[in-house]
């Protein structure tokens, strides 16, 4: 039996890996290097575009719990992220290029995976197919998906990537290294601003010229990845409660908390590149250079990559998919990744892992043993398949979609979240013992 997986992003690679390690042969279709989306530039698989951060590491955070569940389920993505990690305080961040290189190597060397370098357009492969083409699915294939789904309503939004600057071009007489509240290692570079400096930057930002929109008529911005210029237009104080919030940081030059702070996060293992945290943008490249150079410490910054904005597309999953990511009206078609409405790198990989595990069980044993509803990984699947949702929007993992404990926990919210996490991990450990992985 051969399963066709379309798309070698995080979801597609994770799905193919889980199938292959259980003895299922996979044809993994990827249109790169012959064709690229507007946001992708490397021929390697699992390319990270928006950020190199995989978010919180501790299990008291929902992203941290999801990663730990996946780690115990022998996730290709999490294992490779651990191997290519760079300092990021209390988060898991990776060397972007090395991460993709290693995943590509592992996929290509797997004897049960055949990489097919071709674009799928108007006809899906025969047999069982997993569509993991991501939020930048090509127009031709998306038309095929629309036909496949019977023309059901679908949604789209826009996503944005932050600029990256070279470390050696920064002014270290103004920039200081620290993590918020001194949590974890001092992994962030911080650019403090006075009120006067912030006012100048803010006025330049809200009046800067954006790049022209191409082929799209409507702008739907996902709140979790909003362009900094759009955020700023919501009010002069908005950024101070968002990416420029100064709380938990103290400028060593003054001993005081700055009026505003721009944080830079390490982008590669050599610490030669840093990305501007929360600075996803659709400004023209020249405007990015002009406006972001107003940030103290970035006056002479060399931009290794300017921010870009691109379309993200997702289907109306509650109407189309069950909680195993399978089409309700076609048991041979599965979806995985951000096209399902899970939002974020780890969530995307988690959906691919889920499909790979479930589909292998179905093919080998004839039945599926789902993950416990108390886990983060199952909660994502339950969210995107919840028919009661009337206004379906992309969702990051959060404790709000994981079933509650059913009893009150005294103390801080962190303690309650930790208990939810331990309950979930106990069920994952039992699941692994059952599968004998």
Q: Say what the pLDDT of residue 220 is.
A: 55
Q: Give the range with max mean pLDDT: 80-89, 315-324, 369-378.
A: 369-378
Q: Say what the pLDDT of residue 422 is.
A: 96
* Confidence category of residue 309, pLDDT binned at 50, 70, 90: confident
* Confidence category of residue 143, pLDDT binned at 50, 70, 90: confident
Higher pLDDT, 147 or 81: 81
What φ, ψ does residue 19 adopt, rounded to 5°? -65, -45
Q: Say what the pLDDT of residue 217 is.
A: 35
Higher pLDDT, 375 or 222: 375
Q: Tell me the mean pLDDT in the region 308-318.
A: 80
- Percent pLDDT > 90 in the chain is 63
Q: Tell me the mean pLDDT in the region 383-393.
A: 85
The radius of gyration of the chain's CA atoms, rounded to the nearest angstrom, is 22
Domain boundaries, the chain: 2-155+313-435, 163-306
CA distance 9 to 352: 10
Q: State yes or no: pLDDT of 214 exceeds 60.
A: no
Q: Say what the pLDDT of residue 205 is.
A: 97
pLDDT tens by residue, 389-422: 877 877 889 988 998 888 888 777 788 899 999 9
CA angle 3, 8, 11 (to 5 degrees): 80
Q: Say what the pLDDT of residue 354 is.
A: 98
Question: Residue with structure tokens 């600029």?
Answer: 163
Q: Which of 304, 301, 310 is nearest to 282 (CA)?
A: 310
| Domain at 163-306: CATH code | 2.40.30.260
Does a cis peptide bond (omega within 30 degrees of 0) precede residue 33? yes
CA separation, residue 61 to residues 90, 315, 317, 415 (Å): 10, 27, 26, 11
- Percent pLDDT > 70 in the chain is 91
Q: State yes or no: pLDDT of 337 exceeds 80.
A: yes
Lowest mean pLDDT: which of 29-38, 56-65, 237-246?
A: 29-38
* Confidence category of residue 150, pLDDT binned at 50, 70, 90: confident
Q: Say what the pLDDT of residue 157 is.
A: 63
- Are 77 and 14 in contact by the 8 Å Cβ rule? The answer is yes
Q: Say what the pLDDT of residue 36 is.
A: 61
The token pair at 289 is 């250079």
- Are 341 and 395 in contact by the 8 Å Cβ rule? The answer is yes
pLDDT tens by residue, 266-293: 887 778 889 999 999 989 999 999 999 9
DSSP string covering 385-437: T-TT-SS---B---GGGSPP-SS---S-HHHHHHHHHHHHHHHHHHHHHHHT-
Higher pLDDT, 201 or 1: 201
Q: Tell me the mean pLDDT in the region 57-68.
A: 94
pLDDT tens by residue, 67-111: 999 999 999 999 999 999 998 888 899 999 999 999 999 999 999
* Mean pLDDT for the chain overall: 89
Q: State yes or no: pLDDT of 253 exceeds 70.
A: yes
Q: State yes or no: pLDDT of 300 exceeds 70.
A: yes
Alpha carbon 388 to its chain centroid, in Å, reads 25
The token pair at 135 is 């939020």
Q: Say what the pLDDT of residue 216 is.
A: 42
Q: In CATH, what class is 2-155+313-435?
A: alpha beta
Q: Tell me the mean pLDDT in the region 336-344.
A: 91
- Are 303 and 164 in contact by the 8 Å Cβ rule? The answer is yes
Q: State yes or no: pLDDT of 163 exceeds 60.
A: yes
pTM above 0.75? yes
Which residues lie below 8 Å from residue 335, measured CB to CB, with a gap of 6+?
130, 131, 132, 315, 317, 320, 321, 325, 327, 355
CA distance 397 to 64: 10
DSSP string covering 134-177: -TT--HHHHHHHHHHTTT--EEEEEEEE--EEEGGGS-TTT-EE
Lowest mean pLDDT: which of 161-165, 213-217, 265-269, 359-363?
A: 213-217
């Amino acid at each position: 039996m051969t399963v066709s997986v379309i798309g070698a992003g995080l979801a597609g690679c994770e799905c193919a890996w889980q199938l292959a390690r259980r003895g299922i042969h996979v044809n993994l279709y990827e249109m790169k290097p012959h064709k690229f989306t507007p946001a992708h530039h490397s021929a390697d698989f699992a390319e990270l575009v928006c950020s190199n951060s995989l978010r919180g590491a501790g299990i008291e955070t929902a992203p941290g719990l999801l990663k730990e569940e996946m780690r115990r389920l022998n996730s290709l993505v999490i294992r490779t992220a651990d191997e290519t990690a760079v300092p990021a305080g209390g988060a898991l961040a990776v060397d972007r290029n090395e991460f993709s290189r290693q995943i590509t190597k592992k996929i290509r060397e797997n004897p049960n995976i055949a990489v097919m370098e071709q674009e799928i357009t108007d006809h899906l492969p025969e047999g069982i197919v997993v569509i993991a083409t991501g939020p930048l699915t090509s127009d031709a294939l998306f038309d095929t998906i629309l036909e496949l789904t019977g023309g059901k309503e679908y949604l789209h939004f826009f996503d944005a990537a932050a600029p990256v600057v070279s470390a050696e071009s920064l002014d270290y007489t103004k920039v200081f290294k620290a993590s918020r509240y001194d949590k974890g290692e001092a992994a962030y570079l911080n650019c403090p601003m006075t009120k006067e400096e912030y006012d100048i930057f803010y006025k330049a930002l809200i009046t800067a010229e954006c790049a022209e929109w191409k082929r799209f008529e409507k702008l739907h911005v996902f709140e979790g990845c909003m362009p900094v210029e759009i955020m700023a237009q919501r009010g002069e104080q908005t950024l101070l409660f968002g990416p420029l919030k100064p709380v938990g940081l103290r400028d060593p030059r003054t001993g005081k908390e700055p009026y505003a702070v721009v944080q830079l996060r390490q982008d590669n293992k050599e610490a030669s590149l840093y990305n501007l945290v929360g600075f996803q943008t659709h400004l023209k490249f020249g405007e990015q250079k002009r406006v972001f150079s107003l940030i103290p410490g970035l006056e002479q910054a060399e931009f290794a990559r300017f921010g870009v904005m691109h379309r993200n597309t997702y289907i109306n999953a509650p109407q189309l998919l069950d909680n195993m990511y399978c089409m309700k009206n076609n048991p041979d078609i599965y979806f995985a990744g951000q096209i399902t409405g899970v939002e974020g790198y780890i969530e995307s990989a988690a959906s691919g892992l889920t499909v790979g595990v479930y589909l292998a069980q179905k093919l080998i044993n004839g039945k599926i043993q789902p993950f416990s509803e108390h886990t983060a990984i199952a909660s994502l699947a339950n969210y995107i398949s919840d028919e009661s949702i009337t206004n379906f929007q992309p969702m990051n993992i959060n404790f709000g979609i994981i079933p509650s404990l059913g009893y009150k926990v005294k103390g801080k919210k962190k303690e309650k979240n930790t208990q939810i996490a331990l309950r979930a991990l106990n069920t994952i450990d039992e699941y692994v013992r059952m599968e004998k992985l």
